Amino acid sequence: MKICPACGYEEHPMWRARSNRPFCSYVKADTLEYLDPELFKKIKHAMDQGKPYYYDGTIVYHITKTGLNVEKIAKQYHDYMGWGAEPQEKVDHSNLALMPKLAEYMTKSGAEITNESAVPPRGGKDE
């Protein structure tokens, strides 16, 4: 459950944090339909019209491809990351543009980031 430090708004405990998507929460679709039928109808209506998401002013909602979950994310994060459901230009991660502090640290330490350097050697010894 999330609580806003500025205004004290407390998020309903039905929303759970996504482990693979930062700043994204989800709930089972049938749970949302039971606990907040008006919101679920608005989201479902937007999806039925072919829109990839429903935007209510501050939060963006999306029904997953399987239809089992409803995801939500703040508008500013959606504008930055998107859902992946909309066509977006491919992001080049080779320059670490999304992580400037890590890139700066890695550049100062002289480390090179490759797929091989991300995996520790077996046996604990460098061979």
Number of domains in the chain: 2
Residues 46 and 75 in one domain: yes
pTM above 0.75, yes or no: no
Residues 100 and 71 in one domain: no
Question: Mean of the pLDDT values across residues 25-42?
Answer: 92
Backbone angles phi, psi at 92, to 5 degrees: -90, 105
Q: Which of 44, 96, 52 is nearest to 73 (CA)?
A: 52
Average model confidence (pLDDT) across the chain? 74
With respect to residue 105, please indicate whether it lies within any of the assigned structural domains: yes
CA distance 78 to 72: 9
CA distance 18 to 48: 24
With respect to residue 5, please indicate whether it lies within any of the assigned structural domains: no
Domain that holds residue 22: 16-81
Residues 67 and 103 in one domain: no
Confidence at residue 86, expressed as pLDDT on a 0 to 100 scale: 45
Residues 77 and 97 in one domain: no
Q: Which of 19, 15, 27 is nearest to 3 (CA)?
A: 15
Name residues whose C-beta falls within 8 Å of residue 102's C-beta, 6 or more positions apart in sequence. 96
With respect to residue 86, please indicate whether it lies within any of the assigned structural domains: no
With respect to residue 39, please indicate whether it lies within any of the assigned structural domains: yes
Q: Which of 124, 116, 96 is nearest to 108 (CA)?
A: 96
Least confident of 6-15, 27-36, 65-74: 6-15
Q: Three-state secondary structure along 30-44? A: HHHHHHCHHHHHHHH
CA-based torsion, 37, 40, 41, 42: positive or negative: positive
Residues 98 and 70 in one domain: no
39-72 pLDDT, tens per residue? Answer: 999 999 998 998 888 988 888 998 988 889 999 9
